[in-house]
Amino acid sequence: MRIISLNAWGGKIHQPLIDYLAGAKADILCLQEVTRSVGVTSGWLEYRDGSHILPQRANLFDEVKAVLPEHDGIFAPASRGELLDGETAVPSEFGLATFVHRSLAISGQAMDFVHGTFSPDGYGAHPRPRNAQVLRLLDYASGRPLVVAQLHGLRDMAGKGDTSARLAQAEALVALIGRIRKQDEPLVVCGDFNVLPDSATFEILGQLGLTELVTSRGFAGTRTSLYPKDGRFADYMLVSPGVSVTRFEVVREPEVSDHCALLLDIA
């Protein structure tokens, strides 16, 4: 089974991203920074936040869904704000999406906020609302369960250091996983955590017996050459003792975002 986690950057690197996802053969695909703009026909919109201007695909969720016809997609918006179509403001949702191959049964699921609450009338001030998705899956071929959780951790304009909000976010994620996971079922937790490797977030997630793969396997960061700043860590993949890892990779090529994809194969 293959699990891929990626911050999709709103589809800014559009065609390379779509081509990669179409050919990556992920059984479970966890995406952060996914856009959906209902009723908008333009392919590109623009996000503006002061001096920060970023092209965004209007309907990235639908575009990924179109190239994964054998997967079920679940979109979980964290907020709805305004993007610009030229100089016209249009509403656009922003959040998480998980795609699951139909060889796997979704036998349980939960989505809730780990920081703040859903914002329907604007993206809001930083740190903005953040949610998480948790799915309990059954592999028909093996008859074994697997729980997969993903989140996009809150962004603090002061940096990626620990804050009370980030620690509360980690506790909320543990609680959300606890709603779905039964006993010691195999568990994978992934996403763009927006924290540093020494964050107490990992001590809190350690309550679930998880091992973090990026740093424990010696990878030097998870950002691509498209990210110009210092601080090369943001994305993480954690597994419980019941997960048999056959391959783990921080994917450097192709560059489809300012984040690297994280690829996990399990037996």
User: Percent of the chain beyond pLDDT 70?
Assistant: 100
The one-character DSSP state at 207 is G
Q: What is the value of pTM for the model shown? A: 0.97
Cα gap 18→73, rounded to integer Å? 15
Mean pLDDT of 75-84: 97
* Topology of the domain comprising 2-266: Deoxyribonuclease I; Chain A (3.60.10)
Rounded to the nearest 10°, the torsion over CA 189, 135, 100, 220 is -10
pLDDT in tens, 12-42: 999 999 999 999 999 999 999 999 999 999 9
